[in-house]
């Protein structure tokens, strides 16, 4: 897997004012952490977001979302939002903010 650099730059811009953001290449993509906790990332053309378990069930009812899997196994709390679900700046900002709220609620690592 790879990730779209231009899309990663757009996500990076959404996080530019957040303290404690770092980037990690993993799962074949680029992920952003906040105080050591995974917040969101980019895999291929998709946005990956991390949410709490209750929020995942609700969010999966929305179009353009699916559970993220790695090596054929679902990763709890991680969702993929396909390109059509986050191609506008407003949609991307909304998804990233949701992930940021969750990541910021976790204790720093």
**HEC profile for 36-78?**
CEEEEEEEECEEEEECCHHHHHHHCCCCCEEEEEECCEEEEEE
Residue 51 lies in domain: 5-105
- Counting the structural domains of the chain, the total is 1
CATH number of the structural domain spanning residue 57:
3.90.1150
**Can you give the pTM of this predicted structure?**
0.94
Sign of the Cα torsion 68, 56, 34, 42 reads positive
Where is 102: in which H helix or E strand?
helix 89-105
Q: What is the pLDDT along the chain (109 residues), one digit of tens a residue?
A: 589 999 999 999 999 999 999 999 999 999 999 999 999 999 999 999 999 988 999 999 999 999 999 899 999 999 999 999 999 999 999 999 999 999 999 999 9
């Amino acid at each position: 897997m790879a990730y779209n650099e231009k899309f990663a730059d757009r996500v990076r811009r959404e996080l530019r004012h957040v303290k404690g953001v770092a980037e990690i290449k993993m799962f074949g993509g680029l992920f952003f952490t906040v105080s050591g906790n995974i917040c969101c990332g980019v895999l291929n053309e998709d946005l990956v977001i991390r949410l709490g378990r209750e929020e995942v069930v609700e969010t999966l009812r929305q179009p353009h979302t699916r559970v993220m899997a790695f090596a054929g196994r679902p990763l709890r709390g991680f969702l993929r939002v396909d390109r059509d679900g986050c191609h506008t700046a407003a949609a991307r900002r909304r998804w990233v903010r949701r992930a940021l709220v969750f990541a910021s609620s976790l204790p720093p690592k």
